[in-house]
Structure 1
Amino acid sequence: MNQYLLSIYQPDGDIPAPEVLEPIVRDLEAVKTEIREAGAWVFGGGLFPPSTATVLRLKGSEVLTTDGPYVEGKEHLGGFTVIQAADLDEALAWGRKVARAITLPIEVRPLQDGSRQ
């Protein structure tokens, strides 16, 4: 089985009102349960806002530490799920279910396992 990262791209701004967020959370939990029951779940999690990020950057022989995200944008990585799937088509099927549940863009990307060069 291959592993795939399902990245959730979230718009910057305030958290949606409870009447908007609650059905999304409910639908996402249902998809996560389905992924677990299918044996495809590896791990996942939500992330705090980009303002909580710390960036480490090599400059010469020094590693500089700066607050905040590496890039400025109108959206940011809000969370992720790692799944295992037989192939990209299966991973995309799970990604579509997550996109429908969460109503945000989902990027599906294979993880390198060391055997592919």
Structure 2
Amino acid sequence: MTQYLLSMPHDSSEEPTMATMKPAELEAALAAAGAFMEELTSSGALVFAGGLHPPSTAVTVDATGDDLVLADEPFTRAPEYLGGFWVVEAPDREAAVAWAAKASRALGGRIEVRAFQEVPA
């Protein structure tokens, strides 16, 4: 079965985190995310999921030269960034899109769906 990355973009100008949310909004978001995660888990489709801190907390590591270079910044700047993701197993793109639609409804945001590359036989 193919694995798909379902990713949730966030607006770079906002950098929302759970710590900055109002308590009632956080509670509602956690309940919706929890229900979605429960459905994913009980179906057997969930491989892994996670929420990421905003890009302002990133460090970019470059060890391609003689010296290790660290930059306290994301490797690229963009109007949106990856805020959270799920890796799911699905029999086909349509099934992965159905999971993304459920995530979008539950969390009130757009979800991108992309299949992982598979090594050719």
The 5 A counterparts of 1:31-110 are 31-57=36-62, 64-110=69-115
Tell me the alpha carbon deviations over residues 34-79 of structure 1, each in whole angstroms, 9 at most, x when there is no partner.
Answer: 0111110101111122122111347766653211112223321111
- The answer for the alignment partner of 1:10 in structure 2 is 10
Could you tell me the TM-score, scaled by structure 1's length? Answer: 0.85
**Structure that is richer in strand per residue:** 1
Contact 1:5 1:110 in 2 (8 A): yes
Contact 1:91 1:108 in 2 (8 A): yes
Higher mean C-alpha deviation, range 67-76 or range 83-92: 67-76
Aligned amino acid, residue 9 of structure 2: Y
Q: Does 1:112 align with 2:107?
A: no
Report the alpha carbon displacement of residue 27 of structure 1 after superposing the two structures with TM.
0.9
Distance 2:40 2:120 in 1: 25
How many residue pairs match? The answer is 116
Distance 2:47 2:61 in 1: 27
Q: Please, which runs of 5 or more residues in structure 1 have no aligned partner?
A: none
Distance 2:52 2:31 in 1: 18
Distance 1:91 1:62 in 2: 42
Could you tell me the TM-score, scaled by structure 2's length? Answer: 0.83
Q: Please, which runs of 5 or more residues in structure 2 have no aligned partner?
A: none
Higher mean C-alpha deviation, range 82-91 or range 55-64: 55-64
Higher mean C-alpha deviation, range 68-77 or range 91-100: 68-77
Q: Does 1:19 align with 2:24?
A: yes
